[in-house]
Amino acid sequence: MKVDGIALVTAPATAADRRETRQYLLLLLPALLTLGAFFVYPLFGILLRSIYKNGYTLESYRQVVGTSVYLMVIALTFRTAAVVTLIALLLGYPLAYVLATVRPRLARVLVVIVVLPFLTSIIVRTYAWMVLLGRNGVVNHYLQALGLTDGPLRLLYNQAGVVVGMTYVLLPFMVLTLASAMRGIDPALLRAAHSLGASRWQAFRRIFLPLSTPGIAGGTLLVFILSLGFFITPALMGGPSDVMIAMLIEREVEFTLNWSFASTLAVILLLLTLVGFAVYYRLMRLERLFEGLG
Amino acid sequence: MAAPERVSAGAEVRLQGLTKLFGPVVAVSDVSITVPAGSFFTLLGPSGSGKTTTLMMVAGFVHPSRGSIAIDGIDVAALPPQKRDLGMVFQSYAVFPHLTVAENIAFPLEVRKVSAADIRRRVGEVLELVRLTGYERRLPRQLSGGEQQRVALARALVFHPRVLLMDEPLGALDKKLRGHMQGELKRIQRHLHVTVIYVTHDQEEALTMSDRVAVMRGGRTEQVGTPAELYESPVSPFVADFVGESNFLDGLVVSTNPDGSAVVRAEGGLELRGVSREPLQVGQRVVAAVRPEKIVPQEARDSELNRGKGVVDQVVYVGDATRYAVALGAAGTLTVKVQNRLASRPLAIGDLVELAWDAGDTRLFARAVP
């Protein structure tokens, strides 16, 4: 019988133990150096730059908080990310379900189809959507031909265009994360549910769906965070009012050369993302995801 | 048992001409079995013999290509698994990992819309039956394999199914625990009078637990009978070998008697008396099978006994008994099993020994003409 919470007996550290610990740290060194050089140092640089402008100051932060336009952009960014995440989940879940439950050979083909867009440039894919969604694009053409609308719909250069474009680009991340979690669900569990009298819907609702929550948590988190920093698609497919925070940062860096302010925006985005992550972690009990437990 | 368990009478299960083809592969071929109500019935066979496919057809997860499945006279072949009202225990336990023990067991009752009070009472009763009272709030990952198996069993019994299907349920447990669980299963089955159809490749398990056993081979039933029938009068060398253990000696029939016995000359001139289920002819090629524990190393004077002289080739001490391999020259090597008693004189490698065994313990099988 297993007992919960096994008491760990720790012997006092001996010199040999300490030497062993030092050796392990030595093995970690390359990884720590890489992390430091490519992640910690640049991040620290951004943090520093955000509070330094001819001397240390919180001027930039005050400017962001005090200007309604910036706050609106941040709000719009989070809202867009949330909408994109939700749509990607709704579209991706059935697709992932199929991917996870069909015969292995068919599943491999489907995975290739899902991943294929990754192999083409995101700019090419975005322009393709612009062709499809334009005033005289394919979608409007068929909508009118079928008599569903009288005139061409505005599908581009507005929020709708941004959401469509971003969802398309991010959908594979959602599908692959969901499918890998679903593949970990033992099919015998569903058979067991049926043998116990559960209908297909009951078995899905009571067994499959709860067991796929680690995938839902992982997929939505990944898509949401990627959405927050999205740049190319909203820049090309959005209208003048669909400014996302990444576009704001780009503008500061490219045109006004106000790197300090760009850094401030980046730090705010990072902090808000971390806060969101922390809340989410508590809500979805993400530790289960990282433990790899269903 | 303190809790008054409602007695759910088992149902009779009748399989008629059951056949399953997977493409060109015949997995199950023309299986006709009647499982009496309330009995413990085992499908025994090596892997690939079709025993699990047969069980899956009864459960409803595999659709038969031909044949019928009737439970208490009602054909269920067209019903999906959830409509058949059968309890099932899987080899992998298939305990829902995100639900507690109590929630797992409550599941079949909840999908049947049983009231919360009834669910609580029945979960408590069945937990007592499988001796897991106090485990209600544990999660499956906090349980050992044997405990998970009990949860799976409780879950399959709680809705009082008339038939319980078990697919190698003890395969993943260690030997000691397996023996204990075998006893528990029998106790529960007798207590509930539920019909059990049990799949295993372990002949010992089949013999100790079953009322009746169907030995399966290549998708067909080779023999159906009580454990004693299978062991004492197997219909084929396959059954003689698969159920228990047998020595096989090739030979030719030299004379036959009206009572069904015959004398066979094995390779090297060894003469044996044996019995056969079917009439044999003089000159026919046969296989003689005799179980290791039926052979006694001794000076045989009784003319009714079969005798053979040989040299001890191998000695294996197995605790309760010692197994000897005795080379009989051209006739082959016989395995002999002798209970270890203080009085028994152990043999050593190289010892000359005379073996004797009863003609009635020698089963003769006609060999297929090549």
Domain ranges in chain B are 13-238, 247-366
pLDDT value for B329: 81
A92 and A31 share one domain: no
A166 and A40 share one domain: no
Any chain B CB within 8 A of the CB of A193? yes
pLDDT value for B3: 40
A162 and A23 share one domain: no
> In this complex, which of B61, B143, B159 lies closest to A191 when CB atoms are compared?
B61
Mutate to test the interface with B, among A6, A195, A205 (most CBs of B within 10 A): A195
- Asked if residue B370 has pLDDT above 60, the reply is no
Measured CA to CA, the distance from residue B22 to residue B20 in angstroms comes to 7
pLDDT value for B6: 46
- Asked if residue B312 has pLDDT above 80, the reply is yes
- Asked if residue B133 has pLDDT above 80, the reply is yes
Among A144-148, A194-198, B243-247, the minimum mean pLDDT is found in A144-148
**Percent of chain B, pLDDT > 70?**
95
In this structure, is residue A240 part of a structural domain?
A: yes
CB B314 within 8 A of CB B349: yes
- Asked if residue B259 has pLDDT above 90, the reply is no
Range of the domain at A131: 67-291
- For residues B228-232, give the mean pLDDT: 94
Over residues A158-193, the pLDDT tens digits come to: 888 899 999 999 999 999 999 999 999 999 999 999
Q: At what angle do helices A68-101 and A159-183 cross, to 10 degrees?
A: 40
Residue A6: closest CA among chain B residues belongs to which residue? B142
A38 and A177 share one domain: no
Residue B309 DSSP one-character state? E
- For residues B195-218, give the mean pLDDT: 94
Question: Could A192 and B144 be called an inter-chain contact, meaning their C-beta atoms sit closer than 8 Å?
Answer: no
pLDDT value for B9: 76
Question: Could A195 and B80 be called an inter-chain contact, meaning their C-beta atoms sit closer than 8 Å?
Answer: no
Torsion of CA A117, A120, A121, A125, to 10 degrees: -50
A129 and A273 share one domain: yes
CB B356 within 8 A of CB B307: yes
C-alpha gyration radius of chain B: 25
pLDDT value for A2: 40
Strands B195-200 and B163-167: parallel
A35 and A90 share one domain: no
Measured CA to CA, the distance from residue A140 to residue A142 in angstroms comes to 6
Strand partners, B263: B255, B273
In this structure, is residue A35 part of a structural domain?
A: yes
Question: Considering only CB atoms, which chain A residues are within 8 Å of B159?
Answer: 196-197
- Mean per-residue pLDDT of chain A: 86
Residue A207: closest CA among chain B residues belongs to which residue? B96
Domain B247-366 part of CATH 2.40.50.100:
yes
A90 and A151 share one domain: yes
B1 pLDDT band, cuts 50/70/90, is very low
Structure ipTM: 0.81
pLDDT value for A258: 86
In this structure, is residue A139 part of a structural domain?
A: yes
A154 and A27 share one domain: no
In this structure, is residue A213 part of a structural domain?
A: yes
Measured CA to CA, the distance from residue A172 to residue A96 in angstroms comes to 10
A22 and A108 share one domain: no
pLDDT value for A123: 86
Question: Considering only CB atoms, which chain A residues are within 8 Å of B97?
Answer: 189, 211, 293-294
pLDDT value for A285: 65
pLDDT value for A214: 87
Question: Could B94 and A186 be called an inter-chain contact, meaning their C-beta atoms sit closer than 8 Å?
Answer: yes
In this structure, is residue A252 part of a structural domain?
A: yes
A97 and A137 share one domain: yes
Question: Could B80 and A194 be called an inter-chain contact, meaning their C-beta atoms sit closer than 8 Å?
Answer: yes
Question: Could A192 and B112 be called an inter-chain contact, meaning their C-beta atoms sit closer than 8 Å?
Answer: no
- Mean per-residue pLDDT of chain B: 90
- For residues B46-58, give the mean pLDDT: 94
Q: At what angle do helices A159-183 and A122-133 cross, to 10 degrees?
A: 120
Indicate which CATH number applies to the domain containing A172: 1.10.3720.10
A42 and A176 share one domain: no
- For residues B153-158, give the mean pLDDT: 94
Mutate to test the interface with A, among B98, B122, B148, B164 (most CBs of A within 10 A): B98
- For residues B57-62, give the mean pLDDT: 94
pLDDT value for A292: 43
Question: Could A195 and B141 be called an inter-chain contact, meaning their C-beta atoms sit closer than 8 Å?
Answer: no
Residue B225 in tokens: 């009978």
Report A:224-243 residues touching B (Cβ under 8 A): none
- For residues A20-45, give the mean pLDDT: 90
A45 and A108 share one domain: no
In this structure, is residue A58 part of a structural domain?
A: no
Any chain B CB within 8 A of the CB of A184? no
A141 pLDDT band, cuts 50/70/90, is confident
For A88, A103, A107, the CA distances from A113, given in Å and listed in that order, are: 17, 16, 10
CB A197 within 8 A of CB B108: yes
Any chain B CB within 8 A of the CB of A294? yes
Of residues A267 and A156, the one with the higher pLDDT is A267
- For residues B329-342, give the mean pLDDT: 86
Q: How many inter-chain contacts (A to B, CB under 8 Å) are there?
A: 72
* CATH of the domain spanning B13-238, picked from 1.10.3720.10, 3.40.50.300, 3.30.930.10, 3.30.1050.10: 3.40.50.300
Closest to B28 (Cα-Cα) out of B3, B45, B50, B1: B50
pLDDT value for B343: 67
Domain count, chain A: 2
pLDDT value for B302: 63
pLDDT value for B100: 94
pLDDT value for A7: 44
- For residues B317-346, give the mean pLDDT: 86
Q: Rounded to a whole number, what is the distance in Å from the CA of B272 to chain A's nearest CA?
A: 52
- Asked if residue B99 has pLDDT above 90, the reply is yes
CB B358 within 8 A of CB B294: yes
A3 pLDDT band, cuts 50/70/90, is very low
In this structure, is residue A264 part of a structural domain?
A: yes
In this structure, is residue A129 part of a structural domain?
A: yes
Q: Rounded to a whole number, what is the distance in Å from the CA of B284 to chain A's nearest CA?
A: 51
